[in-house]
Amino acid sequence: MSTDLSITHLILNASLVVQLVIALLVFASVMSWTMIFDRRRVLRRAGRAADDFESRFWSGGDLAELYRQLERDGDDDSGMAAIFRAGFREFARLRTKGHKDPMAMVQGAQRSMRVSLNREVDRLENHLSTLATVGSTSPYVGLFGTVWGIMNSFTSLGNVKQATLALVAPGIAEALIATAIGLFAAIPAVVAYNRYSNKVERLNNRYDDFVEEFATILQRQAGS
C-alpha cells in the first residue's frame, strides 16, 4: 500500500476521467490568464489614448487641422480619435454636397459617430465573455471531476470486507484536486471580468460624452 500523497503522484494515479477534467481546467486557466494579460494591455492603451486625444481636442486648435493631422497619422487610431474622424468626415461630406439644413447635417454626423462608437466598444469588450465563461463554469467542471473520483473510490470500497480509512483516503484526495484546480482557474477569471467590464463601461461613458459634446460644437458651426 503506497502512502505517497504528493500532488504529482495523486494526479498520475487518478482515473482517466479525473485526469481529463484536470487537463481541461489547466487549459482553461492558461486561456483565461492569456485574456487577462491581453485585455489589461488593450484597456490601458485605450485609456491613455483617450486622455491624449481629449487634451488635444480641447486645446483649442482648428478642428479641420486636427482632422488632417489624424488622417496623416494613419491607420493606427482607435477610440476617440476614430469616433472624431467618423463624425467629422460625415459632416464635411454633407456640407460639400450642399445640404442646407444644419439639423440634418448634425444628425448625419451623429449617426456615423454612434456607429464608430459601437465598433470601438465592441473591440474593447472582445474576449471578455470568455473570462466570464471560465469564471462561472470551471468550478462546476472541477466539482464533476471530484464527484466522479469519489464515486470510483467508494465503488472499490464496496468490494472489500473490512473498510479502512487508508483505503479511501487517497481516492478522495485525488478527486479533491480537481475542485482545487477548478477554483484556481475560476477566481482570477471572475475578478478580472468584473474589473475589466467596469473599465470598459467607464470608457464607453467617456466616448458617449465626447460624441455629445462634439455634436454640439458641430451644430454651432453648421448654424454659422
Within 8 A by CB and 6+ apart from 213, the residues are: none
- Name the residue nearer to other proteins (CB basis): 15 or 219: 219
Query: Dihedral angle at the C-alpha atoms of 96, 102, 104, 107, nearest 10 degrees?
Result: 100
Residues 196-215 that bind other proteins (CB under 8 A): 213
Does 115 bind other proteins (CB under 8 A)? Our answer is no
Shortest distance in whole angstroms from residue 213 CB to other proteins:
5
Q: Which of 22, 24, 35, 121 binds other proteins (CB under 8 A)?
A: 35
Residue that has been written with the C-alpha cell 496623416 in this structure: 72
Q: Which of 29, 110, 112, 146 binds other proteins (CB under 8 A)?
A: 29
Binding mask 50-89 for other proteins (x = CB under 8 A): --------x-xxx---------------------------
Q: Cα(197)–Cα(43) distance, rounded to whole angstroms?
A: 10
- Name the residue nearer to other proteins (CB basis): 36 or 175: 36
Q: Cα(135)–Cα(198) distance, rounded to whole angstroms?
A: 16
Q: Cα(118)–Cα(51) distance, rounded to whole angstroms?
A: 19
Does 31 bind other proteins (CB under 8 A)? Our answer is yes
Does 5 bind other proteins (CB under 8 A)? Our answer is yes
Region of residue 99 (phi > 0: left; psi between -120 and 50: alpha; otherwise: beta): beta
Q: Cα(27)–Cα(133) distance, rounded to whole angstroms?
A: 13
Q: Which residues contact other proteins by CB under 8 A?
A: 4-8, 26, 29-31, 33-38, 41, 58, 60-62, 127, 213, 216-217, 220, 224
